[in-house]
Amino acid sequence: MLRLIAFSNPRMAQAFVDYMATLHIDIEVRHQNNQVELWLADELSEQTVRRELQQFIDNPNDPRYLAASWEAGSSNANIAYRREYTFASLRSQAGPLTLIIIVICVAVYGLMQLFGDDTLFDLLAYPANSGQYIQIWRWVSHAFLHFSLMHILFNLVWWWYLGGPLEKRLGTGKLLEITVLSAILSGYGQAAFSGSLFGGLSGVVYALMGYCWLSGERAPERGVYMQRSLMIFALAWLAVGYFDMFGVSVANAAHIAGLVVGLALAWWDTRSSKRLNKQ
């Protein structure tokens, strides 16, 4: 048996399984850590299957996949769909670091409401001068500062959506690496651009966006990805930030720096992927 890929979206997994069935190639479905894994029994078909898989990932909304589901799909498909989101189900889709960062951000935001933004900002903000450089927590802790409910909700939803599956699939160490590097470097980029008056997890979030998207493009077998449509949205939102269309201060430099960090790490981690070596 040859493992092909893991999807976090069961509908996508079933669509590809149905399409391969129309080509008379059987794909076995397995459930692992809230992921749907696809396995190929006939390894002689690997080249064909991987070529089709890449085309599917590039354009999963192609009408031929919907047609294949109508033709080959069955009412007893063995992929289960979640129909409700309880706290337990949301927690099960995130690893320990994902949950810890959420708790820290919420706790810091709560303390900011109690004691004022300035109190927490003075303690956790990015180093403002050489005297603060040795306070090493500041290089990362600025990511925990959020200045409105919308700000923290936006960042934490993306953090959970991207960081949770990544940690489940690639491990806590990999998520920690991306988080620390992107927090430090996105903070450095934003401080060079506007000084130390900023905060938020968005630099890290953009790093996760870049990492998940490029990993999915270059090495889908790793099981982490981000849809191209969402990546286009992220880039559009990045562009909007430069035009101050909503009257909200946006840490544009942090976003760009985080995105570059994520793309660079993804490129490095996928440089020896089996799929790329075959091309």
What is the chain's pLDDT, residue by residue, as a tens digit (279 residues)? 788 888 877 878 888 888 888 888 889 888 876 778 899 988 888 889 998 888 888 877 777 777 766 655 443 445 444 444 556 656 677 889 999 999 999 999 999 999 999 999 999 999 998 889 999 999 999 999 999 999 999 999 999 999 998 998 899 999 999 999 999 999 999 999 888 889 999 999 999 999 999 998 888 778 788 888 888 888 888 877 666 554 445 668 899 999 999 999 999 999 886 544 454
Among residues 89, 255, 272, 273, which one is catalytic? 255
pLDDT number for residue 80: 47
Residue-range domains of the chain with CATH: 2-72 (3.30.70.2350), 87-278 (1.20.1540.10)
Predicted local distance difference test score (pLDDT) of residue 260: 96
Q: Is the pTM of this model over 0.85?
A: no
Distance from C-alpha of 226 to C-alpha of 177, rounded to nearest angstrom: 19
CA 170 – CA 183 distance, rounded (Å): 19
pLDDT at 62: 72
Q: What share of the chain is helix, strand, coil (3-state, %, to 5)?
A: 65, 5, 25
Residues facing residue 38 across a β-bridge? 5, 29
Contact 255, 186 (CB under 8 A): yes
* Active-site residue, 255 included: yes
Indicate the DSSP class of residue 111.
H
Look-up of token digits 């990045």? 238
For 55-75, give the DSSP string.
HHHH-TT-HHHHHHHHHH--T
* CA 175 centroid distance within chain: 10
Q: Whose CA is closest to 26, among 1, 7, 63, 51? A: 1
For residue 136, what are the CA distances in angstroms to 108, 141, 181, 243, 244? 18, 9, 13, 33, 32
| Catalytic residue flag (residue 202) | yes
250: left (phi over 0), alpha (psi -120 to 50) or beta: beta
Phi, psi of 244 (to 5 degrees): 50, 45
**Helix/strand/coil (H/E/C) assignment for every residue in 128-176:** CCHHHCCCCCHHHHHHHCCCCHHHHHHHHHHHHHHHHHHHHHHCHHHHH
Question: Catalytic pick from 196, 202, 215, 249?
Answer: 202
Which of 240, 170, 230, 223 is closest to 205 using CA atoms? Answer: 230
